[in-house]
C-alpha cells in the first residue's frame, strides 16, 4: 500500500498538469441552499409520516380509566328503559326517592304483607340515584278490609240493580189529544168541502148533521186518497191516529174522569150529534 504522502505527492503532480481555469457547471444554486436543506428535509419527512398532526390533551391518558369506570357504573344503574329515559330528561327526578308520602293503614293489604308487596314491585337495587322501593309504597289510607270486601259489594250492587220501570214516553192524554185532533181536522175539511159545494146557505145546526151524513157516505179509501193530497203534517197526524191502538186500560183512563156532560158536549161540538 502506498503511503498517504505518496498520494498527496501524486495529486500535486496531477494538479500541475491541469489547466488553471477548470470548467464550471452551468447550474446555479441559491445561497445557503445546502445549509437549509437538511432542516427542510426533516420537516417534509415529518409531514409524510403523520406524526405531530393530532394532539392529545395533557393528562388525557391519566384520567381515561376513571372516566370509563364511571360511565360503566352509570350504565349499570339503568336496568330499565324507563329509568334511563327519566335520567335523560330529568336527572333531578331520576335521583329522587320515589316515596308516596301517605301511610299504609294496618291490614290494608290482606293477602300480602306491606313490605312483601314493596319487595315484589321493586325493580333493581336501590341506589343513590334511582331508588325504587318508595315508588310503590302506598301513602293514601284506606278503610280496613277494603279490598277483601270490595268484590262482595260489587256483586251485591249488581244483583240489587232494578230493571228500570218501563214508562211510556208520551202520556195518554197527548195520544188521545192527537186522535181527537185528527178527527177534528178530518171533520172540518170535509165539512168545509161540503159547505163550499153547497150554493145555498145552511144554518149551523145543519152543518154538523151534514158533516156526519157526508162522512158516513165516504169510504176509508176515499178518505185516504183525499189525505194524500194534503200536507204531510196532516197525513202524519192521521196515520198516527190510525195506528194508535186503544187498549183496555186506555179506555179506563180515558173515561175515568169524564162526566156524561163532558161526553155530550164533545159529541155536540165536534160531531154534531144532538139528543
Partner 1 sequence: MSFLADDVLLEKFREESTKESAFTEIIKKYQERLYWHIRRMVVEHEDANDVMQNVFIKVWKGLENFRADSQLFTWLYRIATNECLSFLDSKKKKTAVSLSDHEEGLANKVKADKHFDPNKLEWKLQLAIQKLPEKQRLVFSLRYYDEMPYEEMSRILDTSEGALKASYHHAVKKVEEFILNN
Reference 189, options 227, 158, 154, 152; nearest CA is 227
CB of 93 to partner 1, least distance (A): 6
Reference 78, options 99, 66, 94, 90; nearest CA is 94
Residue 233 to residue 176: CA distance in whole angstroms: 17
- Residue 145 backbone class (left: φ over 0; alpha: ψ -120 to 50; beta: rest): left
C-alpha 174, offset from chain centre: 45
One of 7, 69, 97, 180 touching partner 1 (CB under 8 A)? 97
If one asks whether residue 144 binds partner 1 (CB under 8 A), the answer comes out as no
> Closer to partner 1 at the Cβ: 100 or 202?
100
- Residue 259 backbone class (left: φ over 0; alpha: ψ -120 to 50; beta: rest): beta
Cβ neighbours around 236 below 10 Å, total: 12
> Closer to partner 1 at the Cβ: 82 or 184?
82
Task: At 181, give phi and psi (nearest 5°).
Answer: -65, -40
If one asks whether residue 119 binds partner 1 (CB under 8 A), the answer comes out as no
If one asks whether residue 143 binds partner 1 (CB under 8 A), the answer comes out as yes
> Given the C-alpha cell 220501570, which residue does it identify?
165
CB of 125 to partner 1, least distance (A): 16
If one asks whether residue 99 binds partner 1 (CB under 8 A), the answer comes out as yes
One of 42, 71, 154, 174 touching partner 1 (CB under 8 A)? 154
Judged by CB under 8 A, the number of residues near partner 1 is 39
If one asks whether residue 109 binds partner 1 (CB under 8 A), the answer comes out as yes
Query: Interface residues for partner 1 in 6-35 (CB under 8 A)?
Result: none
Residue 75 to residue 160: CA distance in whole angstroms: 57
CB of 102 to partner 1, least distance (A): 6
One of 96, 179, 185, 271 touching partner 1 (CB under 8 A)? 96
If one asks whether residue 140 binds partner 1 (CB under 8 A), the answer comes out as yes
Task: At 70, give phi and psi (nearest 5°).
Answer: -65, -45
Q: Does residue 241 contact residue 178 with C-beta atoms inside 8 Å?
A: yes
If one asks whether residue 103 binds partner 1 (CB under 8 A), the answer comes out as yes
CB of 99 to partner 1, least distance (A): 4
CB of 165 to partner 1, least distance (A): 20
> Given the C-alpha cell 388525557, which residue does it identify?
60
Residue 256 to residue 259: CA distance in whole angstroms: 8
Query: Interface residues for partner 1 in 157-196 (CB under 8 A)?
Result: 157-158
- Name the site residues for partner 1 (rule: CB under 8 A): 80-82, 85-86, 89-90, 92-93, 96-103, 109, 111-112, 123, 134-136, 138-143, 146-147, 150-151, 153-155, 157-158
Amino acid at each position: 500500500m502506498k503511503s498517504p504522502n505518496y498520494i498527496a505527492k501524486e495529486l500535486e503532480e496531477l494538479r500541475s498538469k491541469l489547466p488553471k481555469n477548470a470548467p464550471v457547471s452551468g447550474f446555479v444554486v441559491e445561497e445557503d441552499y445546502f445549509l437549509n436543506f437538511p432542516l427542510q428535509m426533516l420537516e417534509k419527512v415529518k409531514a409524510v409520516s403523520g406524526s405531530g398532526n393530532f394532539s392529545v390533551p395533557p393528562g388525557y391518558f391519566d384520567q381515561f380509566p376513571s372516566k370509563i369506570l364511571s360511565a360503566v357504573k352509570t350504565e349499570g344503574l339503568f336496568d330499565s328503559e324507563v329509568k334511563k329515559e327519566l335520567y335523560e330528561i330529568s336527572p333531578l327526578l331520576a335521583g329522587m326517592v320515589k316515596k308516596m308520602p301517605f301511610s299504609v293503614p294496618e291490614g290494608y293489604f290482606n293477602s300480602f304483607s306491606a313490605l312483601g308487596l314493596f319487595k315484589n314491585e321493586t325493580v333493581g337495587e336501590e341506589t343513590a340515584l334511582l331508588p325504587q322501593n318508595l315508588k310503590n309504597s302506598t301513602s293514601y289510607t284506606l278503610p280496613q278490609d277494603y279490598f277483601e270486601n270490595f268484590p262482595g259489594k260489587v256483586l251485591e250492587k249488581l244483583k240489587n240493580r232494578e230493571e228500570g220501570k218501563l214508562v211510556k214516553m208520551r202520556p195518554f192524554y197527548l195520544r188521545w189529544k192527537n186522535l181527537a185532533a185528527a178527527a177534528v181536522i178530518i171533520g172540518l175539511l170535509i165539512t168545509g168541502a161540503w159547505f163550499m159545494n153547497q150554493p145555498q146557505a145552511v144554518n149551523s145546526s145543519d152543518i154538523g148533521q151534514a158533516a156526519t151524513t157526508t162522512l158516513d157516505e165516504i169510504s176509508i179509501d176515499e178518505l185516504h186518497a183525499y189525505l194524500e193530497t194534503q200536507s204531510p203534517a196532516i197525513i202524519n197526524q192521521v196515520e198516527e191516529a190510525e195506528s194508535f191502538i186503544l187498549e183496555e186500560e186506555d179506555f179506563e183512563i180515558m173515561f175515568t174522569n169524564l162526566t156524561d156532560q163532558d161526553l155530550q158536549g164533545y159529541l155536540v161540538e165536534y160531531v154534531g150529534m144532538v139528543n
